Amino acid sequence: MKPLVKTMLEDILHVFTDKFKEPLVSWDRFIEFIATEARGSLFYKVDHKFEWLHADRDFSERVLRLHDSELLASDYYDHLGDLYTEYCSTNFRSDFRKPRIAPYAVVENMAKTFIKETDAVKSVFVPYASTGRLMMVAQRIAPNILLFGSESDLRLYRIAFANLCIHNIHAALINADHEVYELDIATETGRKNWAFANGWYAPTNYLHPKAIQAHAY
């Protein structure tokens, strides 16, 4: 982990919180900026054209002066997940539903238990993608892995997707609860649902739920 990357992200987020006083608005616009800078095609998926960035010259100059995409990509670590955890603890009341993000040591041990080092192509589904750190570790262990992940919390999903964009990790990530929606790629419904992966907004209006299983008594 490079402390310089952590400091850079903290400084950029501070500029956003200076401009947007509402904590959730500050975070949402911060993560949209980070993700879009990492993958330009996301510009066409957000519902604005970053008017709030370009309309305030002082603000945009401060942000762009701090941001270094090459430095960010050079450190293969989930800084955004750590930053969001700290941000929630600092800016929200105690009754705010704070995210539960597993520590890196736990994630690494879990990945090494279930995923073996290999250059072979294999598929792995991560049902609780959280901020994407398990997917990042898995890709390091098995570089040719085919990653699929789901995360029901939209803000955690966006952090995970931003991490995939920053580090150019090829994966299909969907903002959905795997216990509610059919995500089995072997089924026709599952394949249709995965067509909505890697978006920026919640696709739940378009997803098909799991079929209700009949129980014999």
Is residue 27 a part of any domain in this protein? yes
Q: Are residues 7 and 80 in the same domain?
A: yes
**DSSP class of residue 126?**
E
pLDDT on residue 99: 81
Mean pLDDT, residues 79-87: 95
Where a domain ends, among 30, 59, 91? 91
178: left (phi over 0), alpha (psi -120 to 50) or beta: alpha
Q: Are residues 75 and 138 in the same domain?
A: no
Q: Are residues 118 and 76 in the same domain?
A: no
Q: Is residue 195 pLDDT above 60, yes or no?
A: yes
Q: Are residues 126 and 79 in the same domain?
A: no
**Interatomic CA distance for residues 165 and 132, integer angstroms:** 11
Beta partners for 209? 181
How many separate domains does the chain show?
Answer: 2
Q: Are residues 150 and 182 in the same domain?
A: yes
**Interatomic CA distance for residues 124 and 216, integer angstroms:** 32
Mean pLDDT, residues 158-168: 97
One-character DSSP codes across 84-121: HHHHHHHHS-TTS-------HHHHHHHHHHH----SS-
Residue 186: CATH number of its domain: 3.40.50.150
Is residue 214 a part of any domain in this protein? no
Give the range among 28-37, 73-82, 102-111, 147-156 with minimum mean pLDDT: 102-111
pLDDT on residue 214: 45
In what order do the strands lie in the sheet containing 171-174? 123-126, 146-150, 171-174
Is residue 205 a part of any domain in this protein? no
152: left (phi over 0), alpha (psi -120 to 50) or beta: alpha
Where a domain ends, among 43, 65, 91? 91
Q: Is there a contact between 171 and 200 (Cβ–Cβ < 8 Å)? A: no
Give the range among 37-41, 185-189, 212-216 with minimum mean pLDDT: 212-216
**Interatomic CA distance for residues 34 and 54, integer angstroms:** 15
Q: Are residues 87 and 108 in the same domain?
A: no
Confidence of residue 55 (pLDDT cuts 50, 70, 90): very high
How far is the first Cα of the chain from the last one, in angstroms, to the nearest whole number? 55
* Whole-number percent of the chain with pLDDT over 90: 78
Whole-model pTM: value is 0.94
Mean pLDDT, residues 114-141: 92
Q: Are residues 157 and 126 in the same domain?
A: yes
Residue 216: is it exposed, middle or buried by C-beta count within 10 angstroms (0-12/13-18/19+)?
exposed
Domain range for residue 9?
3-91
Confidence of residue 216 (pLDDT cuts 50, 70, 90): very low
Q: Are residues 85 and 140 in the same domain?
A: no
Phi and psi at residue 181, in whole multiples of 5°? -105, 145
Q: Is there a contact between 96 and 88 (Cβ–Cβ < 8 Å)? A: yes
Q: Are residues 161 and 86 in the same domain?
A: no
Mean pLDDT, residues 65-93: 94
Confidence of residue 92 (pLDDT cuts 50, 70, 90): confident
Is residue 99 a part of any domain in this protein? no
Mean pLDDT, residues 2-18: 97
Is residue 56 a part of any domain in this protein? yes
Q: Are residues 43 and 78 in the same domain?
A: yes
